[in-house]
Structure 1
Amino acid sequence: MPSVREITIGLLRELGLTTIFGNPGSTELPMFRDFPEDFRYVMGLQESVVLGMADGFAQGTGNAAIVNLHSSAGVGHALGNLFTAFKNQTPLVVTAGQQARSILPYEPFLFAERATEFPQPFVKWSCEPARAQDVPAAIARAYAVAMAPPYGPTFVSIPIDDWDQPGEPFASRRIHAARAPDRTAMAECAEALGKAARPALVVGAGVARDGAWDAVIALAEKHQAAVWVAPMSARCSFPENHPLFAGFLTAGREAIVAQLVGHDFVLALGGPMNLYHVEGHGPHIAEGTEVWLIGDNHVHAAWAPVGTAIVANTRQALALLLESGPAPSRTAPAPRALPPVLDGSAMTDSYVLQRLAALRAPGSVIVEEAPSARGPMHDYLPIVAKDTFYTCASGGLGHGLPAAVGMALARPGDKIIAVLGDGSSMYAIQGLHAAAQLGVAVSFIVLKNRRYEALHSFGRLFGLQTLVGTQFPELDFCALAQGHGITGRSAADAASLDVALTWSLAADGPTLVEAVID
């Protein structure tokens, strides 16, 4: 009889999961006996890096990625980016080793106690199979659940001695899990949109996940609707140079009301509209504004404070709205005011992003984790092509650098640009080693302001003028890059910045630019 390992490898091959991201320990090694030549193992030097790379790879391919971690210690290291994958709605099948079944009653060294509970609540489903022969079925179910909307990570704990046990025949099944929109509800939504005098769309990451970029453009143009980006959206869902683009909603109750106050109808697509970062008071939407929400996440629909919700695939729902008849004649909303062009006399994050926008190819992919520069990025680094922007939906740090590596593996023909804060970079700096080993074409752009600027900005909201322990002027990112096998260049003025960016963007391997900003 074939072994559990042989059956599982065949299943993974059938599911297209031939790239495995991991950092194995002793309890995982039997999985890799006679490792097949058509599989690829991508090593991360820390488990959070492993999760980040897998997240980027899964988003780039559109298929789940498989992750291999080490019992409790490895899963613990990975939890921060597992939380991010859950918020990103990224499909992952996370496996972790467990000690041999025969010694589990004695709490052996490096075992996982209550293994299936540890990654909760940030996995959709978790399991430790009752028998070795159940491992392939557990992984098949984990894959099916991960790929069912809303996408997300799942978890399987596998005892070390299961892999060499004789297995039983296993046939995978096809599961079609897309959620079609309710046509009666869609007809009501279309009628309300058609009657509106000043409609607006609010687009979230689900628009990009569902491949609805073109449909959103068509709907906005049909109804001359202003298009806003949902607060903290982790993907780009509308071209930011389009005449109907209105800007980015702020993650605060009063701010969202103020930004949408002129619209009598708001259609939120693919993500939460009322996402808050600070405490607020008063209404969640202006009086007289009708709100509808469409997205694949039933949890978002449940906690939304306002609006009629339709849980469905966004692209399918938009197709019905586009078929709903002609739109009334409306005057286009006033175009968004553009920020002033900067002359480079000050080396700010805004200027660095302005030059990056000018020098990069429009179809290059931005993977961003620079929280204090998010506002300047909105102003000076517009995203104009679909599937070219990815960031962290959870607000946690340590995702962007390794996610850029995973994205480069998924899309080897594209230039990947990781826009990172210096503080954010240090959460997963080991990801540079994976980039060097793999030779991926990633330009790591580190905005070096020598401190946790996001904390300083946020601290001022609480009246804190001084924060302890948040300064780190000693960090040398070119030296860190060199230590991991990557060439880096530092730029502290406009002239050296252009030279460094041009060099990095033209490279066919990994490079790093340390942009020293005021």
Structure 2
Amino acid sequence: MSDGATTVRQATLDLLRDLEMTTVFGNPGSTELPLLDRWPNDFRYVLGLQEASVVAMADGYARASGRAAFCNLHSAVGVGHALGNIFSAYRNHAPLVITAGQQVRSLLPIQPFLGATEAANFPKPYVKWSCEPARAEDVPAAIAHAYHVAMQRPFGPTFVSIPIDDWAVPTRPVPTRRVSRDVAPDPALLAEAARAVAAAKNPVLVIGPEVDGEGAGPAAVALAERIGAPVWTSPFSARVSFPEDHPLFAGFLTAAPAEVANALAPHDLILVLGAPVFTFHVGGDCALFTGDTPLFQITTDGEAAASSPIGTAILGSMRLALPALADLLPASAGRTPPAPRPRPPEPEPATPIPAAFMLRTLSRVMPRDAILVEEAPSHRKTMQAQLPIREWGGFFTMASGGLGYSLPGAVGVSLASPGRRVVCLIGDGSMMYSVQALWTAVQHALPITVVVVNNGGYGAMRAFSQVLKVQNAPGIELPGLDFVSIARGMGCEAVRVTEPDAVEAALATALAAPGPRLVEVVVDPAIPKLYGKS
């Protein structure tokens, strides 16, 4: 090779080094082997045993690190397996560069085995950009393109399909580039928002996951304190949105239109930071949408801004917008501080174990800097009451509503957070979607404590059956699952707890273990209430 040419494979590896994507999440097949040949020592390959788990691991790693993660899947079938968590990554705003192997280019016209028809279209619309390069020599440039799109706010997954015979083709190295990822807000609109906030007598803030995603949490706290207004977490926020022990923290907005309207009705201005307006899970009328309460929304998500039914949307990065808005505001003199949020009563131990008792116990023994990764939807309301998250970067869940994310997501979060305990709080139904991720945690000796909340079925479906007045629906009960045996079969120590007096010791022991441990807690199967007062 001359004129500075190298192979597609070498140019890609050099590019990944330049972009700090030397941790690769994958589940390999034949079409990926040329990339993996003579795997370099400075790269880490994280093997997942199913492609959905692979994508969720990469998602957790990307969100916890704030950097794009590289994910390698096997052909169209592997992308198909992964699509649920690709959708979650899109909703989570997780920056991923996903690649998948493709058959030899010369065979593609005759529909070969493992050939993907219209490979670049397969994961759409839930990737920000995708392609199968027209020429083999364009593969490294396509991966660079995918990286820069993934890292433009709002972050998200991208996709490149790569034929198996492309890796050995000569190409040129991809030059190192810098592409700005933050967008400054319109100064005139920001000044308008500042005037409205300053004039309001009783404003309120609603904060969503973009704030934590940009590392703008301290700026959000400073802004809230300057305004002197209560702060609600946006519905279904997939990250911590405000320190839940802060005096201004008002609680969590539910995903029900009437309840959101009722919570915000006393206020004469609504300021939404880093969230849609609003995310709902059930139908109904939201009185805010037909009222005259002014609303300002600051977000990087143009689609969320465009789809908002009311208010003035200001597109801009939290990192730039929040300090700029605070600088335009006077101090909050004259505003009465909101009343402290009442602490729920101490749950009493009982048999069967109340979920609230287990969660309060977990909150008491969990290290303050631990990271909670949650997928126990029927217990989320109880978790929010009993297990406050106090630290930025301390909470992750999925924004999509799809199960099978949080166990492998916890693996990725742990890989990106050396030295910190990760707690995966997961329901028994959720656990079975991506249970094989436990094997990866064992192989990497990750300090993950998996707490399985076993209520013997899909608790959220029990609750929604009540909401929808559905009776005797099949497929909700899950008898006969033994999570201790499943965990031990993958090399993970585990214990089952059925009595309240054993909860604290079991959790404390698991939290102190150097590697992964699983605690299955059998809880009261009583049906929780998703919306309204419990």
TM norm structure 1:
0.99
Further displaced range: 282-291 or 191-200:
282-291
Q: Show the 5 A alignment for 1:147-158.
A: 147-158=151-162
- Provide the rounded CA distance (Å) in 1 between the counterparts of 2:477 and 2:284: 30
Match of residue 413 from structure 1: 419
Measured in 1, the distance between the counterparts of 2:173 and 2:488 equals 49
Q: Which of the numbers 309, 333, 337 marks the counterpart of 2:338? A: 333
Deviation string, structure 1 residues 144-168 (Cα, Å, up to 9, x no partner): 0000011000000000000011122
1:454 maps to amino acid: A
**1:258 matched to 2:262:** yes
Q: Which residue of 2 aligns with 1:29?
A: 33
How does 1:315-354 map onto structure 2 within 5 Å?
Answer: 315-327=319-331, 328-346=333-351, 347-354=353-360
Q: Which amino acid aligns with 2:245?
A: N
- Counterpart CA distance in 1 for 2:184 and 2:428 is 43
List per-residue Cα deviations over 1:211-232 (Å, max 9, x = no partner).
Answer: 1111111111112100000000
- Residue in 2 aligned with 1:500? 506
* Runs of 4+, deviation exceeding 4 Å: none
Structure 2 CA distance for aligned equivalents of residues 177 and 405 of structure 1: 27
Contact 1:58 1:92 in 2 (8 A): yes
Output the CA distance in 1 between the equivalents of 2:108 and 2:283: 47
2:287 alignment partner, SS class: coil
Shift of 1:285: 4.3
Name the residue aligned to 1:187: 191
* 1:371 to 2:373 alignment: no
- Using the alignment, how far apart are the partners of 2:227 and 2:23 within structure 1? 44
- 2:136 is the alignment partner of 1:132: yes
1:24 counterpart SS class: coil
> Offset of 1:11 from its aligned partner?
0.4
Q: Is the 8 A contact 2:265 2:288 kept in 1?
A: no
Q: Structure 2: how far apart are the matches of 1:198 and 1:185?
A: 21
What count of residue pairs does the alignment treat as equivalent? Answer: 518
Q: Deviations over 1:65-107 (max 9, x none)?
A: 0000011100000000000000000000000000000111111
Equivalent pair of 2:289/2:309 in contact (CA under 8 Å): no
The SS at the match of 2:120 is coil
Structure 2, gaps ≥5 residues long? 525-534
Indicate if the aligned counterparts of 2:344 and 2:386 stay in contact, CA closer than 8 A: yes
Residue 322 of structure 1 and its aligned partner are, at CA, apart by 1.4
- Distance in 2 (CA, whole Å) between partners of 1:178 and 1:30 is 36
- 2:441 maps to what in 1? 435
* Matched-pair contact (CA < 8 Å) for 1:417–1:443: yes
- Aligned partner letter, 1:258: N
Aligned 8 A contact 1:261 1:286 in 2: no
Could you tell me which amino acid in structure 2 is paired with residue 510 of structure 1? Answer: P
CA contact (8 A) 1:200 1:266 kept: yes
Tell me if structure 2 keeps the 8 A contact 1:133–1:166. Answer: yes
Aligned with residue 103 of structure 2, among 94, 99, 104 = 99
8 Å Cα contact 1:213/1:238 also seen in 2:
yes
C-alpha change, 1:339 and 1:486, in structure 2 (3 Å) is same
Aligned mate of 2:455, from 449, 453, 459? 449
Match of 2:210 in 1: 206
1:462 deviates by 1.3
State how far apart, in whole Å, the 2-side matches of 1:214 and 1:391 are.
Answer: 21
Q: Residue 330 of structure 2: SS of its match in structure 1?
A: coil
How big is the shift at 1:172? Answer: 2.7
Separation of aligned partners in 2, 1:109 and 1:14: 35
The equivalent residue for 2:241 is 237
Q: Is it true that 1:41 corresponds to 2:45 in the alignment?
A: yes
In 2, are the aligned partners of 1:23 and 1:46 still within 8 Å (CA)? yes
1:343 shift after superposition = 2.1
SS at 1:28 equivalent: helix
- 1:89 aligned to which of 90, 93, 114: 93
**2:226·2:329 contact (CA, 8 Å) conserved in 1?**
no
Structure-2 change in CA distance of 1:285 and 1:335 (3 Å): farther
Partners of 2:245 and 2:45 in 1: CA distance: 40
Q: Secondary structure at the match of 1:247?
A: strand
Q: 2:363 aligns with which of 357, 362, 365?
A: 357
How far 1:374 moved relative to its partner?
A: 0.5
Is residue 277–residue 304 contact of structure 2 (8 Å, CA) maintained in 1?
no
Residue 395 of structure 1: aligned partner? 401
Instruction: Kindly report the root-mean-square deviation, in angstroms, between the aligned alpha carbons of the 2 structures.
Output: 1.0
Inter-partner Cα distance in structure 2 for 1:284 and 1:85 = 30
Superimposed CA distance per residue, residues 314-367 of structure 1 (whole angstroms, 9 cap, x where no aligned partner):
121111121114234210112222211112124111111100000011110000
Query: What CA deviation, in whole Å up to 9, does each residue of 1:29-86 have, x standing for no partner?
Result: 1011121100011111000000010000111111000000011100000000000000
Contact kept in structure 1, 2:129 and 2:149, CA below 8 Å: yes
Aligned to 1:74: 78
Amino acid at match of 2:440: A
Percent of aligned positions that are identical:
49
**Local SS of the residue matching 1:292:** strand
- 1:411-452 residue CA offsets vs partner (Å, 9 max, x unmatched): 011000000000001000000110111110000000000100
Shift of residue 286, structure 1, vs aligned partner: 7.0
